[in-house]
Amino acid sequence: MKNFYNPAFIAETNNIESTMLHRRQWVGMENAPNTSVVSFNMPMKFLGKEHGVGMIVTNEKVGLFSNTYTMGQYAYKFKFKNNKYLHIGLQAGLMNIDFNASEIHIPDSDYHDPNDPAKPTGGGDKTIDAGLGVAWITPKYYVGLSATHLWDPVFELDDNHSGYIARTYYLMGGYNIALGNPLIELQPSAFFKTDAVTYQVDVTAKVEYNKTFNGGISWRKDEGFVFLLGVKIRNIDAGYSYDLSTSALTKVSNGSHELFLRYSIPIEKKKQPGASKSIRIL
């Protein structure tokens, strides 16, 4: 789901695509993150140029926060020879930050004050957000660079407490390698994420069989491994992944689970061999 990180990846195919993703992170830990994403995008032609339009809605629960991000996405597509494309993408929309201050736990002791002024009392805020990206897409490989939360959007919890979401940068790329067996394709990829303070690195090796079944493994620096399984049946693409942590999180978590489902509708139907038009069928 590359358009989650980079809006330039919408309309990557000649299909109308609707995608759903759900992730349960660090299962077993109280108030652990849960994320659900719904995305829709499609290519279109306007004034002789190729474009992509779409929308992505993200709902996440992290601790006492319950946030919803609704973003419109747009990409302008420059076409080169041999089906190579340069996409320039933009997204913008509304972030709804909800904070359940009533669930803040203050221990009952002489050393804790339930009316501590450092305790937020508000419930959240709304703010505008935006991101942009660029992607180079070919039949064999892709690479993309993007930035989200462009102006470090600030949200108010109450009159005395506020927070912000740091600008985040992403770099990703992948390659399709044909092996000796024409039914098997190796698909290595890499992913880098940073907010200029911390960073995350993923390296993935995935194998696809007969354009139908796929599986692989990712290595995530300082965190562990991710195991991937997927299947494509006609217009449906489904997948599951499991994160196995090798860090201290194993003491409190049983890992993370992620489910993925995409439904694609080709815009242009392929002609069947021997088919011909008839004036009797309009």
Q: What is the largest CA-CA distance in the chain?
A: 89
Residue that wins the pLDDT comparison between 178 and 130: 130
Beta bridge pairs of residue 202: 191, 220
Total structural domains in the chain? 1
Instruction: Label residue 277 by pLDDT band (50, 70, 90).
Output: low
Q: Determine, yes or no, domain membership for 128.
A: yes
Q: Determine, yes or no, domain membership for 218.
A: no
Q: Determine, yes or no, domain membership for 231.
A: no
The dihedrals phi and psi of 191, each to the nearest 5 degrees, come to -145, 130
Residue 97 Rama label (left phi>0; alpha psi -120 to 50; beta): beta
Taking a C-beta distance cutoff of 8 angstroms, is the pair 124, 154 a contact?
no
Which DSSP string do the residues of 219-254 spell out, in sequence order?
A: EETTTEEEEEEEEEETTEEEEEEEEEE-SGGGGT--
**Using CB atoms within 10 A of its CB, is residue 24 exposed (0-12), middle (13-18) or buried (19+)?**
middle
Residue that wins the pLDDT comparison between 270 and 105: 105
Q: Determine, yes or no, domain membership for 279.
A: no
Cα distance between residue 138 and residue 83, in whole Å:
6
What does DSSP assign to residue 101?
Answer: G
Q: Determine, yes or no, domain membership for 271.
A: no
pLDDT at 281: 47
Q: Is the dihedral of CA 120, 123, 127, 131 positive or negative?
A: positive
Range of the domain at 167: 2-112+119-196
Cα distance between residue 94 and residue 129, in whole Å:
6
Cα distance between residue 137 and residue 89, in whole Å:
13
Instruction: Label residue 136 by pLDDT band (50, 70, 90).
Output: very high
pLDDT at 18: 96
Q: Determine, yes or no, domain membership for 14.
A: yes
Lowest mean pLDDT among 61-65, 243-247, 268-272: 268-272
Residue 3 Rama label (left phi>0; alpha psi -120 to 50; beta): alpha
Which DSSP string do the residues of 122-169 spell out, in sequence order?
A: --EEEEEEEEEEEEEE-SSEEEEEEEESTT--EEESSSS-EEE---EE
Q: Determine, yes or no, domain membership for 165.
A: yes
Q: Determine, yes or no, domain membership for 148.
A: yes
pLDDT tens by residue, 223-264:
899 999 999 999 999 999 999 988 888 888 889 999 999 999
